[in-house]
Structure 1
Amino acid sequence: MKRKAVCIVFGFALISQAAAHGEIYKCVDPDTGRAVFSQIPCTHGTDPMDLDVHTPDASVAKSTAQRWREIGQQQERARTLAAAERRLEKLESQRDAELARIAARRRWANNNLAGATLENALAADNQAVIDKYAPLIDAAQRDLERLRYSSP
């Protein structure tokens, strides 16, 4: 996005320079009375126009460039924050899916004669999943909080 903004600024600069160095013709359509501006002379004869092209001074150009840099930094920060939020949501979703699979197996074990042994194993699996994702989710939450409250 930053590259696109820089290209737009330079494009306008080039266009304004091209207009300053070329001749511009104002042609009025005799049927409609509509004015058309062109770099090519009109068919019904027109003289070139003198244009007063405004070229911004260096301070304006510098402040504009600074503003574009700030916008780029804000957009980069927003992208980084969104990526951290997606990472956290993905970890929580993976944890919840694993816990749901274990819960389904526990429901099946409750209807089974050998369910007591399996129930104990599934409880251990359940705790293992919680222990597996807890540090990952905590780290992702800390990263997200750091990004949210750090100065841009």
Structure 2
Amino acid sequence: MKVVLQRVTDASVNIDSKQISKIGYGLLLLWGVEKGDTEEDAEALSDKISNLRIFSDENNKMNRSIVDIDGEILIVSQFTLNANIKKGNRPSFIDSEDPKRANDLIQVAVERFISKEIKVQTGKFGALMDIQLNNNGPVTIILNSQDSTVS
């Protein structure tokens, strides 16, 4: 699993010019599911993200988590994070998980965040979406369960 995490002041998802989800201060998570990813990967990433201290405290030091600030999360599925560009000029997405399985694993992550009482919004799986965000910091972190960058 690959997640691109961005700290945002706000973010929203539009489909066909209609807003389907919106968050205030918190995290936009672009979430890609690869073949072989598991429920445990989704839970481990969710736990790590929930506890990352990437929000400023009163001394302007990154010392607070999404839970600490009562922030919101917007999860957007993004199979293109699994692009393989080693051969040719057209990306291959052969490493992406089957859509139904990928959606199920993203739902595992959503439920994990909800169990921690984090407010969660999502995009629409498989849809062509317009994502609007105001990146704060900027703070952008890439997490990958396959590279053991999450534990």
TM-score, structure 2 normalization: 0.22
Larger Rg: 1
Higher relative contact order (CA 8 A, sep 6+): 2
Structure that is richer in strand per residue: 2
